[in-house]
Chain A
Amino acid sequence: MLQQIEGSRAVAETVARCRPEVVCAYPISPQTHIIEAIGAMVKAGELTPCEFINVESEFAAMSVSIGASAAGARAYTATASQGLLFMMEAVYNAAGLGLPIVMTLANRAIGAPINIWNDHSDAMAARDAGWIQLFAETNQEAADLHVLAFRLAEELSVPVMVCMDGFILTHAVEGIDVPEQGDVDAFLPRYEPRQVLDPAHPISIGAMVGPEAFTEVRYLSHLRQLDALELIPALAAKFALAFGRPSGGLVHSYRTDDATTVVVAMGSVLGTIKDAVDQRRALGDRVGVVGITTFRPFPFEEVRRALSGAHRVVVIEKAFSVGYGGVLAADVASATHDMSLTLHSVVAGLGGRAITQHSIESILDDAAAARLPSVTFLDLDRDIVNSERARIGERRRSGPSAENVLSDLGSVASRIG
């Protein structure tokens, strides 16, 4: 039933309908509403059998999830930003052990400077951890992806991270059709673990592996991720049949048929980009969008196919590798290395800076006029940057950049957006 509810609420209800048996999480903005809601459902006896375990940190939350999953329970957790970094050793272990934990990542910037707002730095920090990473464009998709995530995780015995933009999605109220219990039960079979700690049939999980076999065990993880490239579209097709709407999949193209310029992006910014594309299409520009739903494993073939007609590709992404440039742009460049196209990396929306349709259209104008550099920081305030650069050049003890920049900027309370 379609309801006008908050994204976090929809995710919490959907996760509950996936019948997790252990939920262990530590609260951190902007993930908090999801965990509070699930906690309340467990306490009220609406989600049963399920144990909600309170712990002292994110490291413990993932460690408990690992233990629960290894003992054969369907395990769920959620985090964001510094919370993900704090649990990172265990995040790698979950993947290395092949435990099908599902985690929501309410995408948020990473400090310092401390910042609670949205970008994709946290997801990028876990890019190489061995988890499947799915990005939601809308709250409907954020909810649906969790049903797909449990099925995918358990079929492959790989953990899955569902990335949803913090605040922009988690705190947005919109019409969402929370998957019905009966439909979820029909789509998501009982968890049959591939490996389980069972006192009746003792085994050990987590052996030390030396140079004699480490490469092979790692390669097996790689193969499982490559299997996901086959399974994800198949599950998305099944999901569409079962729930009557599309969700999940690898990549999604919008108005790319005759497009010479294609924008590539992930997450909720795709909506604003689609509005910008419609606007440019009305003016006769041949522009389109490709949304990446599955970031890890990276769908090289599908990205190539989606960009096959493009002369110019603009990758708009909410994270970058300091000293390198856009992370997604590098992957897209790798996928299209032998194709004849010009690639631009646009870093945008860092630390919650709004990505406006106006700015996206300016980028498209610059690209069309061949004046867009290969790497751009959207809406960068050059005056502020130059003033701090000058201060650093003038004296040794120039002080902390974050504080200096804030002082140059003055009051921001009067600003909107």
Chain B
Amino acid sequence: MRRSVWILILAAPIVLAAAQLVRDSWGFTASAAQAPTSSTEVKIDNFSFGPAALTVAAGTTVTWTNRDDIPHTVVSDDKAFKSKVLDTDEKFSFTFTKPGTYSYFCSVHPKMTGKVVVQ
């Protein structure tokens, strides 16, 4: 093969990696656990919250959506928030204004727990 082709092949991963670094620093591919975004989703399914641990910035609105075939609730341990019962496809949203760790559970099935860490 020609040398120019070899150089291109070797250079490609370096270029791609550099591009990824740039994208990360600009927040284009931020994931919920690393860089807070303005709205975040928690999916309720199979008697569990997903993700079970979520990190968001203060001022973020988190929305829980029940995809399970059984109703669930979202109730914080310290009474900061409490949803009404959510049947399948129903949602509950809460805006976290103050930093802190908010543990919550399903009051109907208390073994289901999760937390939101607000930075």
Answer yes or no: are A and B bound together in one complex.
no
